[in-house]
Structure formats: C-alpha cells, structure tokens
Chains A and B, each alone.
Chain A
C-alpha cells in the first residue's frame, strides 16, 4: 500500500516565540524553522511500515512557502520516496489544508494518511480529523501504536484517561502522538540522495481549492507574565510558605 504523510514547516521547538511589537503575529524573521515534531514522527512511522514490508511507497506532502521544500527534503532524506509541495505564501488554515490533502489523497489513493496530531505553531489539532471527515474515512488520532493487518489498522490512542485502542477499516487517517516512535536522523549519504528524489511543485489553484481564511486574526498579544518569586533556604521554610498559602494546616 501507498502511504501519504503530511508535513509542515514551523518554528523550531527549541526557539522561544516572540510576539511582534505591532501585535500582528509572532516574529519569524531569522528564526530557526524545522519540520513540525509530530510530523517527523509521522514520517518515521511511514518509513517503519515500509521497512516492515507493509507499505510500498511513501509520498510526503507539504502546503506552505517555497522554503517548505527544505522540510520535504528532510522527509525525503529520512526515507520518503517522493514529495509534493503545494506552494503558497498565504497562511492556509487547517480546513483548507485538509481540503488540499483530500484532493491529493484522491489522486494518490494511499491506504493510510499519517499526519502529526498538531502543529506547534497554531496548536489547532484539527487537520487530520477534518481530512478524515472530508474523505469519509475513519480516524485514529493521537496514536501511540499503529498495527496494520489485512485491510484493518489497529490504532492505540493516547487519551485523557490513559490508552484506548480502535480498529479502523483502511483506508484511514492516523495522527501521531509523542510516544509512537523516535524519529531517526537522516544520514549524510541519505541527505545527498534526497536531493535527486522527485519533488513536484503545485499551487492550491491546481486543486481548485479555495483557501481564503475563515478566521481573521485581530490581534496577537503576549500572555500575562509571571514573575519569579522567592527562593526559600530549606524544607522548613518551604513548609512555612505552604502554610501561608493555606495548602497545609
């Protein structure tokens, strides 16, 4: 079966985001950008399924600016076979991303689409579920284990109360959680090899999808700041503080 993985170029998780002084957004100028960490886990899972012989081809797709090519090259260096960039400088909301991915899915006919559960920039946690809805496919969200058998896939999900397993018919959509796997680093030879793997560039219009935003961002502000409090010298003093807070009698 073919696998489709969706990847997004986002601020690197190690960078502390700063709000722009004019309140229009977060400052991304000269900031390190990387593949969304949950998407790395999605790529890794696809590669593992292919290595196990459960999949034959991995197609990575990204929607974003020209620079998202780098993100796709990373996916190719990790082990994806080819890539599609739907290039746009506009901000594309999860609903429109899901619509574009649905079109790519119709073209590519994968058995599974694997995506990160959320992107660490907008923290929406929507795209995979929306894609599944548009396709009429089942969804295994927040996956910590994915097991293919025949035309079914068992997905173990990280839920608020613990873990839950669902059985889905394929084709299906899976979104990854942190414990699904530990993504590999691309080796230097594979990074070199990735440069010659096919990467197709498209535009949203090629798919006939309207990507006009439904949400207008009126303002982006800093959250209320917490300031550092006091340091206590020892456990007795700590207990004293807890007492004044009314935590202990």
Chain B
C-alpha cells in the first residue's frame, strides 16, 4: 500500500505537521510526498530528505501558490490513480483540501485520526474528544487527515527520496487569493511549542492579556494560547484559540490562566503532558484535569510568577 502525503510548507520550509503525518502514513505502508506550490524547489529538496520517504512529486505552478482547494484537489485526485491513500495533517490547509479530494474520489474521509489500527481501521475523536471511535473504512482508497499531536515526528533528515515533476490542470478560474494577515511572532508556534501559557476571559482586555502573559511567555520561552472567550473578546487573534474548533496542542506543559475549562477548551489541550491551572474559582472544571493547581487572582499571581522565575 502506498500513501500520498500532502506536504505543508511555508517560506521554503517543510512544516512540522508534515513530519507527524509522514509517521502516520508510514504505518500504512510506503510513503510518497506531494509538494504543491509556486517556486517549490527548496521545499522539494527538503522533503526528499525526510526519513522513510520514497518519492517526492513536485507540482510547481502559479495556480498552486496559495493552496487554493479548487486547484489543488483536482491535481491530487488525478494522482490518486496510482495511490491507495491520501493523507494530510488536520491543519486548516489539510481540512480545506482533503474533503474536496475525498468527494472527487467518492470516498468518505476519515478525519483527525489518532492511531492506525490496521490498513482500513483507525481511531478518531468525536464529541470534542469525549469519545474515541474506532472506524473501519470500506472505501477502496482512503482519504485521511491526521491529528499531528498523536504521532511522533519523522526525522527531517536521513531520507533520500527521488524527485519527480507532475503537472496539474492549472487554474480552475473560480477562486483567487486576495491576501493574508498572518500573525507574526518570535514565539514558538502553538502546535510545536514545548510550553504554552494560555489566557482566558479573565484577563479583561487585550492590554492586560499581553502585558501579563507576554513577559511570562518570554521567561519560559513559551507559545501563547487563548480560550475562545478571549479570542471572541478581541484579547488575542483567532490563531491563538486552543480547543475543539481551534488548535489541538499537546505540549510538555500547558499553563491555563483564567480559563474555566469548558469541554470545548479541554478538547484542545487535555493531551498535554502536564497541565497547570491558575484560577480564582477553586471549583473551576479546569482543576479536574490539572496536575498542578493554584487558586488565586491571576492579576497578583502572574506578575509574581514572572518576576520570580
């Protein structure tokens, strides 16, 4: 069985999410990669070095520059004649493209897999991770998105894949990229950070969110996350949101500050190795999953913690 894995890349670099996805795909058999984009020479070279990769297909075209699903999905669907499975990370890019591929192939996608139990059997979270379903697919070809926190990263070097050029059908002419407002940060990305400090509604304003959390994050070299309530209130941008419908994270340490612990939030962080919670309400549900809890006022605790670290 051979899988085609979509490489997620940015600025000429392969993203970590791809490495975990390669590990998941390896459990199904041989792994080939697809690099789609414009000017993808460097990424293709880097992708060929990922351990365990057999072949890298490079599709270099202006129509593929911004991951438009309308243009990428037909390219993938065409290539799938030679593959048994199409696998992407369950990132916003993967979630946008994979179902479009699945429908073109008349396949029911298996979303967000946590494990590979066999060639056609997988586990996946449902109901905000409050249940884990084991599902068996009867489709001849599989389309799969991978929860990247559930798989170790494949080594980024040591492989020696061969590169092959492929061409897509070009621009479908029904969609175009207008622009992006990407959060710029020197901090580690949430999905790969070892430590995350995360703030909730309790911060009360964007100013207080950043003036309290940023120095703490700097001291710990941590990424910064937020609850939905904090994002909705404008304290933090949308890409900070951790949860069922935001980012799924599993750092070594997750420090939840002024976050109540709604099931939708827990869904995004409860696989963290150690959870620390700071909350003034000793009955807050977050304490039910926290390894270390401190009851008290964050406006006192956070500055003191930052200072003493």
The yes or no answer to A220 lying at the interface (CB within 8 A) is yes
Do B180 and A168 have beta carbons less than 8 Å apart? no
Interface stretch of the complex, out of B22-30, B46-54, B134-142, B206-214: B134-142
Given the interface pairs A95-B103, A245-B274, the reply to whether A178 lies near B239 with Cβ below 8 Å is no
A56 vs chain B, min Cβ distance (A): 23
Do B290 and A235 have beta carbons less than 8 Å apart? no
CB contact between B178 and one of A38, A154, A231, A233 (< 8 Å): that residue: A154
The yes or no answer to A53 lying at the interface (CB within 8 A) is no
Interface stretch of the complex, out of B32-40, B161-169, B292-300: B292-300
A167 vs chain B, min Cβ distance (A): 5
The yes or no answer to B205 lying at the interface (CB within 8 A) is no
**Residues on B with beta carbons closer than 8 Å to the beta carbon of A93:** 108
Do A248 and B309 have beta carbons less than 8 Å apart? yes
The A contact surface, by secondary structure, is mixed
CB contact between A214 and one of B121, B139, B232 (< 8 Å): that residue: B139
Contact residues of B between 58 and 75, Cβ < 8 Å to A = 66, 68-70, 73
Do A117 and B264 have beta carbons less than 8 Å apart? no
**Residues on A with beta carbons closer than 8 Å to the beta carbon of B159:** none
The yes or no answer to A21 lying at the interface (CB within 8 A) is no
Count chain B CB atoms within 10 A of each CB in A120, A125, A142 and give the residue with the most: A125
Do B133 and A217 have beta carbons less than 8 Å apart? yes
* Cβ contacts A to B, 22 pairs, < 8 Å: A95-B102, A120-B244, A121-B127, A126-B99, A132-B100, A139-B96, A142-B96, A160-B247, A164-B177, A166-B66, A167-B175, A214-B107, A217-B134, A221-B131, A221-B132, A221-B134, A223-B270, A226-B270, A226-B289, A230-B292, A231-B287, A239-B305
9 more A-B residue pairs beyond the given contacts A130-B99, A215-B138, A219-B134, with a C-beta to C-beta distance below 8 A: A95-B102, A95-B106, A138-B174, A159-B93, A160-B91, A160-B92, A168-B175, A222-B130, A242-B253
